[in-house]
Structures are given as C-alpha cells and as structure tokens.
Amino acid sequence: MQTAKFETDLSLFKYDNLEQLPAEYRGLDETERTERIEAALEELGDDVVILGHNYQRREIVKHADFIGDSYQLSKEAANADADYVIFGGVTFMAESADIITDDSQSVILPSMEASCPMAGMAEALQVDSAWAELTAATDENIIPITYMNSYADLKAFCADQGGLVCTSSNAHKAFEYAFDKGDTVLFLPDKHLGENTAHRLDMEDEIVEWDPWNPEGITAEEATSNDIILWEGYCQVHERFRTEHVEQVREEHADANVVVHPECRREVVEAADVVGSTSTITQTIERADPGETWAIGTEVHLTNHLSRWHPEVNVVPLCGDACMDCNAMRQIDPNYLTWVLEELLDGRERNVIEVAPEEKELAQVALDRMLEI
Ligand code: 13P
Ligand code: SF4
C-alpha cells in the first residue's frame, strides 16, 4: 500500500520560530504583570481573544475569555472574530485552532515550549513507517484514529489513510466509524484511552499493543491478527493514578466519589464513579450537592480551580500531594502572556503557530470526519 510522505521532521518543539522570553520580562511580579496584561487587553479590545485550557494556571485562566477542554476551545477558536487568538494550552491545541480559524487570524502560543509529551510519542514519520509494516502484513483494511492530543501532521496522515480524529468524549463513536469502514483500528497515541474505549465497546479481547521503540516486540503479523492495535503512548500525569489511590481516598472519606480522565489506566477508570474529559470533570463538580466529597484524577491545576470555584463541595486530589501538574501546560507563564500582548501593541506577532498548508487541508478532513460522527 502506498503511504503518505510528510516532509515535517516532528520533534517535541515542532516549530522553528520559537522565541524565548526577553530578559526584561523574566522578573515581573504578579501585581505589575496583571496591571500590564489588563492594560494591553484594554487597548487591544476585540482584536484579541484569550483561550485557557482547564489545566492552565490561575494567573492565565483569570485573563481567559473562555476556559474549557481541548475540543470546546477549538470550537471557541472557530467562532472567534478576533485577529489574534492567544492560546493558553499546548502546541497541538494551538494547531487545531489554526486549522479551524480562517487565514486572516493568527494563533499565538505564548511559549512554544508548551509541547505535550504524549503527542510527541507518535511522530508522523514514525507512524508512517509502522503503517508500512502493518499494512504489508495483512489484507485487512486498517483505519487509523488519532486522539486530539497529536500533531497536525499525524491528523493529516490519518485523514490520508481514511481515518479520523477523536476526543476523549467521542472515541467510541470514532471506533464505530472505523469498524464501519474497515476491519482493524490503529489507535494513536494514547494506549489507555484506546483500551478504555475498547472496554466500553466490549472489545477488550481484541486489543494488542504496538511498541515502536521495542524491536523485540510483537511482529506486524501478530499485531494485525487483532482488531484493535494500540500505539504505545501515554500521559505521565494520568498514568500516575493507581487503584490504591482510589482505595485510600474511599478509606479516608467513607462517602467519597471519584471522577477521572479517560487517559488514566484501565483499572483506575473501572474503580471510578465517573470518567470523562476535563469538561465532564468540571460539570460533575458543578452538579455535585453541597457537602459531597469528590476525588479528582487529573492534572492538579484543574483540581485546584474546582476546589476554589466550588467551596461548597469537598474537592480532593485523587493521589494527594503526589498529583502532578502538566509540565507542558506550565510553560505558559504569565510573563510570556505579558510579552506577547505588549508585542502586539507594538505591531509584532510573536510565537505564531502556523500549520503548513498541505497538512492543514488534510488535518481539517480528519477533524470534519470527527464532527460528522
Ligand atoms: P481534554 O480534552 O479532556 O481537555 O484533555 C486534554 C488533555 O490534555 C488531557 O490530558
Ligand atoms: Fe499532554 Fe498529559 Fe499534559 Fe494532557 S496532561 S497536555 S496529555 S502531558
């Protein structure tokens, strides 16, 4: 089978226009930068919209026009009239915003070092070479599905091979779409979301893991004798949660409820009361009765926001002090936000995310297929 050829040599820092924070912005204190950010926003007015992912720190979300999960923020980007969309999130989210917004709008990622390690675990070139092996080993029709947490060139690759994108909320529908069109799913890059989805569809016996880093691993023939091939990718923030944490929280709080993100391990998801995207987690706490205890298995900034926003609910982190923040999300520093805004006032665009046109067109197809399911 002919495979797609992509020029992009994807790495953790995909864009070579990455600019570091100038020295004079490094030591700003919170009061000064808040004043400067507010002054810049006042002057820029409707030219700018700030999108803040649920995992962003307090000093970023307090300036955000919209706060939400990665899918909701892409939709906000699509609706935005502003010339500049400033994305408080990570590279793959800003790329999706660039794909969805029109060409006259610029998407700015204040620090381009905000790159999700899980997205970096499935590089398009690496997937292309695995694809060649897998497709050569079988006559079955393999459909690739990539989670939103992946780079634009992988989304483009999936579209080119008849596949699509999914989010944590619609992964099961993407699987159904794929099995309608083909025989086998290659799911990228998050093996846990893939496994959790297979369970939801009662297909847990059909799973196999494909580890591109392990030359001793299973052969392409062995892999393709299963219906669901899971790429060996994961999120370290979510892999940290274990069933012991669920047991411990239930011991400490007899009436504790547990809500986790589907990037968590299978057994943790099974032990939880609710599983869903960061917006599902947020809605769960919004709907909780006063006095209820909810333990949250996701990135710790969101847990802290929910505890602050809903003092009537007892919100606790599922693994206590061991809960992690996301190192990629943390790169969006409020000093960077001050800098990119003040540069816009002077007519300079810094750290613009611009997906290559040929990738953009195909990645849009993969996103459109998702919107249709
Ligand atoms: P959501 O799409 O649920 O916001 O999750 C994004 C993410 O990065 C989870 O780790
Ligand atoms: Fe990536 Fe995990 Fe951070 Fe989400 S929490 S952006 S999946 S590293």
C-alpha distances out from residue 205 to 21, 125, 154, 174, 223, Å: 50, 29, 27, 19, 13
Report the relative pairing of strands 66-68 and 257-260 from DSSP bridges.
unpaired
Percent of the chain with pLDDT over 90: 87
Pocket residue to mutate for ligand 2, from 239, 240, 263, 326, most atoms within 8 A of Cβ: 326
Distinct helix (H) and strand (E) counts, the chain = 18, 14
Name the CATH topology of 238-324: Rossmann fold (3.40.50)
Nearest ligand to the CA of 75 is 1
User: pLDDT per residue over 119-161, tens digit each?
Assistant: 999 999 999 999 999 999 999 999 999 999 999 999 999 999 9
**Residue 32: pLDDT over 50:** yes
Per-residue confidence (pLDDT) for residue 2, from 0 to 100? 42
CA dist., res. 327 & res. 252, Å (int):
29
Distance, CA 361 to ligand 1 centroid (Å)? 24
Whether residue 311 has a cis bond before it, omega within 30° of 0: no
Write down the domain spans for the chain. Answer: 11-115+329-356, 119-231, 238-324
Distance, CA 292 to ligand 2 centroid (Å)? 28
**Residue 13: pLDDT over 70:** no
Nearest to 97, CA basis, from 152, 20, 170: 152
Q: Are both 119-231 and 238-324 of the same fold? A: yes
User: pLDDT per residue over 87-128, tens digit each?
Assistant: 999 999 999 999 999 999 999 999 989 999 999 999 999 999
Percent of the chain with pLDDT over 70: 96
Per-residue confidence (pLDDT) for residue 276, from 0 to 100? 96
Per-residue confidence (pLDDT) for residue 18, from 0 to 100? 80
Provide residues with CB under 6 Å of ligand 2.
Answer: 90, 116-118, 149, 235, 237, 263, 299, 326, 328-329
- Structure confidence at residue 218 as a pLDDT band (50, 70, 90): very high
Pocket residue to mutate for ligand 1, from 67, 170, 263, 303, most atoms within 8 A of Cβ: 263
C-alpha distances out from residue 252 to 150, 212, 359, Å: 37, 41, 50
- CATH number for the 119-231 domain, one of 3.40.50.720, 3.30.70.2500, 3.30.70.330, 3.40.50.10800? 3.40.50.10800
**Residue 198: pLDDT over 50:** yes
**Residue 10: pLDDT over 80:** no
Give the neighbor-by-neighbor strand order of the sheet with 106-108: 66-68, 48-53, 84-88, 106-108, 352-353
- Structure confidence at residue 246 as a pLDDT band (50, 70, 90): very high
Amino acid code (one letter) for 139:
D
CA dist., res. 55 & res. 332, Å (int):
11
Class of the domain covering 11-115+329-356: alpha beta
User: pLDDT per residue over 311-368, tens digit each?
Assistant: 999 999 999 988 899 999 999 999 999 999 999 999 999 999 999 998 999 999 999 9
Number of Cβ within 10 Å of residue 33's Cβ equals: 18
Nearest ligand to the CA of 148 is 1
Per-residue confidence (pLDDT) for residue 263, from 0 to 100? 98
User: pLDDT per residue over 247-285, tens digit each?
Assistant: 999 999 999 999 999 999 999 999 999 999 999 999 999
Pocket residue to mutate for ligand 1, from 73, 237, 278, most atoms within 8 A of Cβ: 278
190 neighbors 147 (Cβ within 8 angstroms)? yes
C-alpha distances out from residue 364 to 100, 279, 349, Å: 7, 23, 24
Nearest to 191, CA basis, from 208, 177, 214, 170: 208
Report the relative pairing of strands 142-147 and 84-88 from DSSP bridges.
unpaired
Per-residue confidence (pLDDT) for residue 75, from 0 to 100? 86
